[in-house]
Structure 1
Amino acid sequence: MGPAFQRYWWRDGDSLLRVYAWAAMLLASLLNFLNHNQYPAWRAEVTLAALAMVALGLALGVVHRLAMPRLSFLFTALLAALAVDLNGDRLWLVPAAFGATLVVAFFADRAAVKLIAAAFTGVLVFQLAGLHGDRPDRPAFARKAAPDPAAGPPIVHLILDGYMGLGGMAADPAAFGALRDANTAFFRRHGFRLYGNAYSEHRNTTNSLPHILSFGQAAPATTPQRLQHSVPGPLAYFGLLRRASYKTYVLQTDYIDLCARQGVAGCSTYPRSDLATMDAVAMPTSAKAETILSSLASLAVLPTLLDSATLDVRSSLAGEAVPPLEQRAKLFPIASMAAMDRLTASLAGARRGEAYVAHLLLPHDPYLYDAACKVKPRSAWTFEEAEGDRVRRDADYAAQSRCLLTRLDAMLAVLAKSPDGRDAIVILHGDHGSRIVDIVPELGQPGEPSPRDYAMTYSTLFAVRGPGVAPGEDGSAAPVASLLGAFAAFGFAATPDPAGAADAERHVLLTDDRWTPRRKVPLPAFERPAL
Structure 2
Amino acid sequence: MKRIVLLLSPLVILLSPIIDAFQGVYIDPRSDAGYAVIACVAVIGLALGMIATVCYKRGAVGNVVTAGTLAVTLFLFGDLSYGVFWRLADHIGMGGAAALAFAGLVVLILILFKLMAAVPRMMAAFAVALLGSTVLDRGLITEASAEEPAPAVIYIVTDEMIGISGIDTRLPHGAEAKAALSRVFQKHGFRLHSKAFSRHILTQVSVPAALNMDYSYNFPGDRSRYAYPGEVTKFKELLLFNLWHRQGLSVNVFQSAHLDYCKTEALVDCHTFASFDGSRFIQRQRIEGGPYRDVPPASASLADVKALVEGNRQSLAMAAVGFVASNLLETKETALQEWHPRSYDQLAFPYWLGQFQNMILDKGRGNAFFAHFLFPHSPSVYNKDCKPTNRWVERSYLTEVRGLAGQELDEARVKEYGFYFAQTLCLAKQLDKFFNAVLSDKRFQDATIVVHGDHGSRISAGRNVETMSPRDYVDNYSALYAVRKPGVATGTDYKLRSVQWLNASLFRGNVSEVAPTVVGSMQGKSDDPAVYAPITDPDHVAIMPMHDFDASH
Give the TM interval when normalised to the shorter protein: 0.5 to 0.7
Q: Residues 249-328 of structure 1 correspond to what in structure 2 (within 5 A)?
A: 249-273=252-276, 287-292=300-305, 328=341
2:416 aligned residue: 393
Query: Which range is displaced more, 150-159 or 164-173?
Result: 164-173
Shift of 1:149: 5.9
Deviation string, structure 1 residues 387-439 (Cα, Å, up to 9, x no partner): 473322111111111111111111111112335112221111011111111x2
The total of aligned residue pairs comes to 378
Shift of 1:489: 1.7
Shift of 1:202: 1.0
1:348 matched to 2:365: no
**Alpha-carbon distance between aligned partners in 1 of 2:453 and 2:477, rounded to the nearest angstrom:** 10
Deviation string, structure 1 residues 336-361 (Cα, Å, up to 9, x no partner): 33211101122223532211000011
1:58 aligned residue: none
**TM-score normalized by the length of structure 1:** 0.59
Cα root mean square deviation, aligned: 4.9
**Alpha-carbon distance between aligned partners in 1 of 2:484 and 2:373, rounded to the nearest angstrom:** 19
1:451 matched to 2:470: yes
Q: State which of 349, 354, 358 in structure 2 corresponds to 1:336.
A: 349
Q: Residues 35-434 of structure 1 correspond to what in structure 2 (within 5 A)?
A: 44-45=35-36, 152-170=150-168, 176-216=174-214, 220-221=223-224, 230-273=233-276, 287-292=300-305, 328-376=341-389, 378=390, 380-385=391-396, 387=402, 389-434=412-457
**Alpha-carbon distance between aligned partners in 1 of 2:472 and 2:345, rounded to the nearest angstrom:** 23
Q: Match of 1:230, as an amino acid?
A: T
Q: Match of 1:238, as an amino acid?
A: F
CA contact (8 A) 1:350 1:418 kept: no
**Alpha-carbon distance between aligned partners in 1 of 2:136 and 2:508, rounded to the nearest angstrom:** 35
Give the 3-state SS of the residue equivalent to 1:488 in structure 2.
Answer: helix
Alignment CA distance shift 1:336-1:478 (3 Å): same
Q: Residues 16-35 of structure 1 correspond to what in structure 2 (within 5 A)?
A: none
Give the 3-state SS of the residue equivalent to 1:178 in structure 2.
Answer: helix
Deviation string, structure 1 residues 177-216 (Cα, Å, up to 9, x no partner): 3322222222211111110010011111111111111112
CA contact (8 A) 1:509 1:519 kept: yes
Deviation string, structure 1 residues 95-125 (Cα, Å, up to 9, x no partner): xxxxxxxxxxxxxxxxxxxxxxxxxx99xx9
Deviation string, structure 1 residues 42-95 (Cα, Å, up to 9, x no partner): 95445999xxxxxxxxxxxxxxxxxxxxxxxxxxxxxxxxxxxxxxxxxxxxxx
Give the 3-state SS of the residue equivalent to 1:212 in structure 2.
Answer: helix
CA contact (8 A) 1:348 1:417 kept: no
Give the 3-state SS of the residue equivalent to 2:200 in structure 1.
Answer: coil
Q: Which runs of 5+ in 2 are unaligned?
A: 1-20, 41-93, 103-129, 139-143, 279-295, 311-335, 403-407, 518-526
**Alpha-carbon distance between aligned partners in 2 of 1:351 and 1:501, rounded to the nearest angstrom:** 36
**Alpha-carbon distance between aligned partners in 2 of 1:452 and 1:528, rounded to the nearest angstrom:** 8
Deviation string, structure 1 residues 166-185 (Cα, Å, up to 9, x no partner): 12114866662332222222
1:442 matched to 2:455: no
1:522 aligned residue: 545
Alignment CA distance shift 1:207-1:421 (3 Å): same
How much identity, in percent, do the aligned residues show? 25
CA contact (8 A) 2:497 2:514 kept: no
Give the 3-state SS of the residue equivalent to 1:476 in structure 2.
Answer: coil
**Alpha-carbon distance between aligned partners in 2 of 1:513 and 1:136, rounded to the nearest angstrom:** 51
2:495 aligned residue: 476
**TM-score normalized by the length of structure 2:** 0.57
Shift of 1:273: 2.7
Give the 3-state SS of the residue equivalent to 1:348 in structure 2.
Answer: helix
**Alpha-carbon distance between aligned partners in 1 of 2:443 and 2:244, rounded to the nearest angstrom:** 18
Q: Match of 1:468, as an amino acid?
A: G
CA contact (8 A) 1:148 1:245 kept: no
